[in-house]
Amino acid sequence: MISPLCARQIAAQTAGQARRVAIETVPETGSTNADLLARAAQRDFDAPLLLAAESQHAGRGRAGRTWHSAPGSSLTFSLAWPFRRSLPQLVGLPLAVGVAVAETLNALGVAARLKWPNDVLLEGEKLAGILVEIAPPGEDRVTAVIGIGINLALPPELRSRIDRPAAALPSLQADRNALLAALLNALAEACVEFEAGGVAAFAARWNALHAWRGERVAVLDGARTLHQGMAAGIDDSGRLLLDTDAGRVAVLSGDVSLRRAEA
């Protein structure tokens, strides 16, 4: 039996920095990211806030894509975290978030890996997506809204709406509260560590989880190929390093996408 999301049960399993986080759950919404961005713009909260939804009907992914989910088959939530950093200093936050998510799943026995810049993979297929958006800055802080969607099951109707290979975690579907608490514990610690050291503090850990290290990949801007080369990991700025025929190049994320190169 799948347990309903319960803020009290999630909070009871938090530890460390996660105990600072207010937790809310809702049966349904359009987008947890959109909800927290709107509330941050109205200065509706001052401390970190987690919002989880049983169902989203307007979930968003990176570059304007749709994140498809289904009630009981997905874990969709957003964490609003105020940083005392400037906006440029938040570059690379999705990579740090990816490390926190993948390390949590590995601790639960799931061999999750990372695809630059913001996908979590299982056996080469997309398991989770990350979308980080920034609320209008305040006087002394910038609030990042970190949206995460994880596939827990892929019923036929949901699979038919996803336009790429996808993976799921049916073994973790039953107790989503425990899973969300474990993720929140890791994310809260990651946010504190990121505020202190930026993405450089996560580079080695990200590289240890790199799904496509040593594989030939292409960096695309829409249908246009910008670079091709062997994926060599990320640097301390969060840039993807590619070994190309012309030498090593470093690629900023922006709105580009990464694909395996055709043979």
Question: pLDDT at position 57, please?
Answer: 83
pLDDT tier, 69 (very low <50, low <70, confident <90, very high otherwise): low
Q: Which of 115, 62, 128, 129 is nearest to 231 (CA)?
A: 115
Q: Which of 206, 180, 120 is nearest to 111 (CA)?
A: 120
Instruction: Pinpoint the alpha helices (H) of the chain.
Output: 7-12, 32-41, 93-107, 156-161, 176-197, 203-208
pLDDT tier, 92 (very low <50, low <70, confident <90, very high otherwise): very high
Question: pLDDT at position 18, please?
Answer: 98
Residue matched to tokens 């640097």: 235
- Domains and their CATH numbers in the chain: 7-208 (3.30.930.10), 216-260 (2.30.30.100)
pTM for the full model? 0.92
125-134 vs 216-221, strand pairing mode:
unpaired
Active site residues: 62, 126, 259
Question: pLDDT at position 225, please?
Answer: 85
Query: What is the mean predicted confidence (pLDDT) over 83-108?
Result: 94
Query: What is the mean predicted confidence (pLDDT) over 192-197?
Result: 97
- Give first-to-last CA distance, the chain, whole Å: 45
Question: pLDDT at position 173, please?
Answer: 65
Residue 234 bridge partners (DSSP) = 240
pLDDT tier, 58 (very low <50, low <70, confident <90, very high otherwise): low
Q: Which of 122, 124, 123 is nearest to 105 (CA)?
A: 122
pLDDT tier, 59 (very low <50, low <70, confident <90, very high otherwise): low
pLDDT tens digits, one per residue of 123-173 = 999 999 999 999 987 667 899 999 999 998 876 666 656 666 688 887 776
Does the pLDDT at position 65 exceed 80?
A: no
Which residues touch 2 (CB under 8 Å, ≥6 apart)?
A: 72, 173, 174, 176
Does the pLDDT at position 263 exceed 60?
A: no
The three-class DSSP label of residue 2 is: coil
pLDDT tier, 43 (very low <50, low <70, confident <90, very high otherwise): confident
Does the pLDDT at position 64 exceed 70?
A: no
Query: What is the mean predicted confidence (pLDDT) over 12-26?
Result: 97
CB–CB of 221/251 below 8 Å? no
Question: pLDDT at position 179, please?
Answer: 95
**Between these two residues, 72 and 110, which has the higher pLDDT value?**
110
Query: What is the mean predicted confidence (pLDDT) over 105-125?
Result: 94
At residue 106, φ and ψ (nearest 5 deg) are -60, -40
Question: pLDDT at position 259, please?
Answer: 84
